[in-house]
Amino acid sequence: MLQIVNKLKEKGYVKLNPDTNNVYGRAEGGTIYVVVIGSGHNLDADDLKRFNNKIISDISQDTDKDIRLLNILLMPDGVFDDRINHMIEVMDNLWLFTEDYGKFYVFENQIGDFDGLADILDHEIKIEKKKDSNRLLRIFGVVTPILLAINVIIFFLDSILTRKYNFRLNYYLAINPSAVIEGHQYYRLFTAMFVHFGIEHLVSNMIILEALGARVEHLLGKVIYPICYIVTGMVASIGSLAACYLGHPYDYAGGASGALFGLMGLLIVMASFNKGRVGDISLRNLLMLCFLTIANGYVSDGIDNAAHIVGLVFGIVLGLLMTPYYQKVVKKRFL
C-alpha cells in the first residue's frame, strides 16, 4: 500500500481530509480525481457506494467541477469470495491489489485507466517485484521450510532404519519419562518436537506448520520466530512429561503439535490486538482450530493433549510479553 500512496503523492494527490483514512485527490483542468484506498475485509458494495456518494457530495458543495472517483481495495491474495465478486459485477470504478504477489486486478467491466495511474502503478509494482528476488520466500518463509524438512527427514530416516535394521530412531529422540527423569536425557525435551509416529501424524502437523509458521516468521523475523518455536515446543514437552507423572502415563511421546499450539497462542494474542485479524487469518478461525484440535484429543486415543494445552497457554503468555514488539510489526505489515 505504501508504494501506491507514494506514487499518488508524486502525481500531485493529497489527502482530502486529515481526519479520514486514505482518501486522496487532485484537480486538473475541469476535473477532480479522487482515489479511495481501503481494505476489502468486511466491506460490501452498498457500503462502498454510500461512502463514494458521500465523498462526491461533500466535494460538490465547494465546486462545480467534474468529479471522478476510483476505489483501490487491498486484498490478502488473489482468491476472491462471493462478496468481492459481487462488488466487481455491480461497480465500475474498482481495482483490486493483492498484497501477497503485489498484483493489480482490473476487470473488463472496470475503467481501464484513471488519470494515467494504470501505467504508473503497474511500473511501480514491477520495480517492487524486482527488489524481491524470490517471492516464494516471502510466502513460505525461510526458517519454516527448514523446520518442515527436519521433521520429514527424521520421519523417513526412522522408517528406513526400522525396516532395514530394526532400529527405532524415534525411541531415542521422543520423550520417554524414565529416560528423561532417571537417565537425565533432557535433550529429548528438544528432539521430541521433531518426532512423529505415523504418516497421518506427520502430514497433519506439517500442514499446520506451513500455514501458521510462515506467517509468524513473516511477523517476528528469522531469529525470534525459531526461538519462539523451540521454546514453546520444549515447554510443551515439559508439560507432557508432568502430565505423565500426574496420572496420564505413556511410554513415548513426540510431535510438533506442542510448538504449533505455541504459534497459535502467539497469533491469538496478535489478532486480539489487531482488530481480530493477522493478515488473512482471523481470530475466530484460530480459536475454532484450537477448540476442535483439543476436543479431538479428548475423544481420540494416543493424543497428548497436555502438550497442546501447555503449548497454547505458554504461547499466549509469550505473546502478551512480546506485545510492544509485534504490535508495531503487525501494524506496519498488515494494517
Residue 178 is among the residues annotated as catalytic for this protein = no
Which amino acid makes up residue 253? A
Neighbouring CB atoms inside 10 A of 18's CB total 6
Query: Catalytic annotation on 86?
Result: no
In terms of Cα–Cα distance, which of 39, 43, 49, 31 is closest to 93?
A: 49
Longest dimension (CA), the chain: 86
CB 202 within 8 A of CB 140: no
Q: How many CB atoms lie within 10 A of CB 14?
A: 10
Cβ-based neighbour number of residue 251 at 10 Å:
11
**Structure-block grid coordinates of residue 81:** 469470495
Q: What is the Cα–Cα distance from 148 to 209, expressed in whole angstroms?
A: 7
Q: What single-letter amino acid sits at 179?
A: A
Tell me which of 196, 201, 218, 308 is the catalytic residue: 308
Number of neighbours of residue 43 by Cβ within 10 angstroms: 16
Residue tagged active-site, from 57, 123, 257, 300:
257
Q: Are 231 and 321 in contact (CB under 8 A)?
A: no
Distance separating alpha carbons of residues 155 and 157, to the nearest angstrom: 5
Helix segments in 132-198, DSSP class H:
135-140, 143-165, 170-173, 177-181, 188-191
Question: 300-315: buried (b, 16+ CB within 10 Å) or exposed (e) per residue?
Answer: eeebbbbbbbbbbbbb
Are residues 144 and 209 in contact, defined by beta-carbon separation less than 8 angstroms? yes
Active-site amino acid positions:
257, 308
